[in-house]
Amino acid sequence: YLTYWRCLAAINLVFPLVVCDTNTGALAYFLEESPEENYICYRALFSPYNQIIATYCWDGRVHLWEAASGKYLHSLQGDHLGVSALAFSPDGSLLVSADADGLMKLWNPGDGALVNSLQVVEPAPITDLAFSPDGQYLACTTGRDYPKVVVWDVASGEQVTWLGFNDGVSSAAFSPDGELLAVVIRFEFVEKLEIWDWQGQNLLRHFSWKWD
């Protein structure tokens, strides 16, 4: 079987993505053209177990493909324009898309059905999404004037907690046990990594470095 390389490239308007075998570097296939013509893909994401490839493109829509063959499956209908982040749940049963207005939509990737919508209270671009390893929680990084990480309960759609920051937050990730949350903060040429006990809202440790 193929081990997929997630560095997929936009190469032209007809076949925007290629998939390569990471063992050999050889071209495996081009993604099949979707019914929507003339689009360029900005990002591609594999589902767990490499069953589906999700892409979002200049048309603002999310397209799904069969990972084993590159066959076009379907597009998410009625989704928001201007997708800014995308994530699969750990078991692959949910696909979350987020946009520049702080709206997240949870989809069933199998049939493209909308499962739920979550809205950040103060609309602002969402830059990253992260599921806890058990899939119970979803974290998003967002905010312009008031950067924050917001954590949601996936089943209920309720906001569980949020962490506020003085500078822009760019990404977040849960620890393997789900107890800690790592947050990357960027300001001009300085980057910081903070480790949080997110449920207790306690900053445990931090690291920083400066780019010349």
- pLDDT digits 0-9 by tens, 165-178: 988 888 999 999 99
On the 0-12 / 13-18 / 19+ scale of CB atoms within 10 A, 128 is buried
pLDDT tens per residue, range 106-148: 999 999 999 999 999 888 889 999 999 999 999 999 987 789 9
What's residue 195's pLDDT?
96
What's residue 137's pLDDT?
98
pTM, two decimals, is: 0.84
Q: How confident is the model at residue 12 (pLDDT cuts 50, 70, 90)?
A: very low
Specify the range with the lowest mean pLDDT, choosing from 5-14, 87-96, 128-137, 191-200: 5-14
What's residue 35's pLDDT?
54
Rounded to the nearest 10 degrees, how much is the dihedral formed by the CA atoms of 153, 158, 163, 165?
A: 120
Find all residues with CB under 8 Å of 169, minimum gap 6, and list them.
Answer: 127, 141, 142, 143, 147, 148, 149, 183, 184, 185, 186
Find all residues with CB under 8 Å of 177, minimum gap 6, and list them.
Answer: 133
Cα–Cα distances (Å) from 156 to 112, 153, 174, 196, in that order, read 20, 6, 20, 23
